[in-house]
Chain A
Amino acid sequence: MPRYITSRVLQAVLVLVGATLVIFVITFALPGDPVQALAGERAADPAFAEAIRARYHLDEPLLQQYGRFLLGVVQGDLGQTYSGQDVAQMLGERIWVSGQLAAFALAFQILIGVGAGILSALRRNGLADTGVRIFTLAGLSIPFFVTAYVLQLVVGVKLGWLPVAGTEDGFLSYIMPGFVLGSLSTAYVARLTRGQLTEALREDYVRMATSKGLTRVRVVAHHALRNSLIPVVTFLGLEVGALLSGAVITESIFNLPGMGQAMARAVYLGERTTVVGVVTVFVLVYVVVNLLVDLLYAVLDPRIRYA
């Protein structure tokens, strides 16, 4: 087990280096000159441009800049924005907003997704099942930014139940964006749970459990559900990473000052350090969560052993 974790951590380092290098090269290739963007409409003063380039090492070759960046990452330094803000510090503040958003989205997926899936599987072809199938189909088909605007208009403006945007109302502010962000995968989780549980209910060990004289609740909860939730847990784990990247749009729509919003703005401004910084954090989260999911997998299914 320790060997397995060590090798996974080493793999993670490689992934991190590879992913950031790709982003580095891509942002370099982006059209537009960030120095010129700083100067606005007028042509930049050559002396000013020169100073900026020197300060941010933009005059160095790409690989040297990248090496500098990696050296910084090891020391917890993600560089500075062109306006002089420390990127690591800025993301440190924003990651809580994104984290809360992701937590709400994940909670919706677990409560609604898994719950609806179980209901659907137990009442197969019944009224509840049909209802769940219709809603999940809608959830999968409607683009989530459409859901977002409709909810903002109906729940936020017309009914006034929840804040339309911003973070001024504490956790209430996260309910609507969390639901929107999670909606797509909630539908998927419901379908996955339904399929897995339906299959598990046909297994011999479930019939055996029934024939032992256990109650239906015990048979489902103790014998069928545990096995059928293994793929669901895997999906939800990987989903954490997807929730962060999906947040780019959701945070923009709901004006949440999270990492996704910072990323969207930075791409727009050609603000390379921020883009690379956000991606670094995303990759880090993704890799760590992946590792945790794989370890959790071994806990849920004793047949899996890592050596």
Chain B
Amino acid sequence: MKMANLAINHINKSFGNLTVLKDIDIAIEDGEFLVLVGPSGCGKSTLLSIIAGLDDHTSGSITIDGKSVQGLEPKERDIAMVFQSYALYPAMTVEQNIGFSLEMSKMPKPERLERVGKVADLLQIRHLLKRRPGQLSGGQRQRVAMGRALVREPKIFLFDEPLSNLDAKLRVEMRTEIKKLHQRLGATIVYVTHDQIEAMTMATRIAVMKDGILQQFGTPEDIYDRPANVFVATFMGSPPMNLLPAVIVDGSQGLSIQGADAMLPVPFSAVTRAPQGKKVLLGIRPEWLSLASTSTYQPTLDLYVEVVEPTGPDIFVALRLGEREIMGRLPTGSRTRVGEKARFAVDLSKAVLFDAETGIAI
């Protein structure tokens, strides 16, 4: 299948005074799986519509395979799209639904049926071809919607929150399936979701958006381990990253946690960049805490255990440090009891410091 790189160049969109998208600049290579993620209203679906040609933008350009698609109708952009509501044509059979785009491009019927058949086999829905959307389950509709996209063999697949109408179990199944499909076809995919787990599990690149502004663009590891700002740190990951207000002391060597009588050394990565007296936020993911053994070389905090929530593979613990609440994530079997004070080791090699005023990572 022919695949293409996609460049979103300085896209702006506004309605009068309302800015919907501000200077979005993203480029991906062939075969990448780009996830646009952010809270509702962040502009991710609008951006997808602009890529598809369903929506206009105010300035900037989209190039697919190095060529600008400015002014091209959606059908001329060599893209295919899967919608949140699946948007299947109610009066057509599955076969007609999948083959509709080929029919519109006047492909002869035998060839069309062959293409539809191939896609149906790929998605294991051949037995459904004569049915209508109303006779299908949610998962089956989802497959038909994907079939409708696959049959066009486009350069880029666009997915607009395709799993959000499915129940939790099916959602996980389809997630895996889409990922498999991506690996098998080597397709270039742009995928919109508000679900950070979907973003983390599927993407090769993630673009985190908020209020029409691109917050961070990078690999899932980048986004998770090195969030560019406080928003990304708290939006990605569940439970979110703990943020502890602190002040740099001891000649840029120490962190005094505000609202608690506790000190930690400044993470090595930030030592040279945080002057004495600066107010910062110390970002620690819940799993970067562990019960300290007596021989630990890591810095430790003495924390009061307030709530213990076993989830199966992990135990979530709500911990208290002075006025601050901290979430920890411990392996099952860790011995903690509600009401006790325990010593926790903090993996400061991973911890992130944010400027308390701007929220930007130091």
- The judgment on whether A and B are partners is no
Residues in chain B within 8 A of chain A (CB atoms): none
What is A's interface to B at a CB cutoff of 8 Å? Answer: none
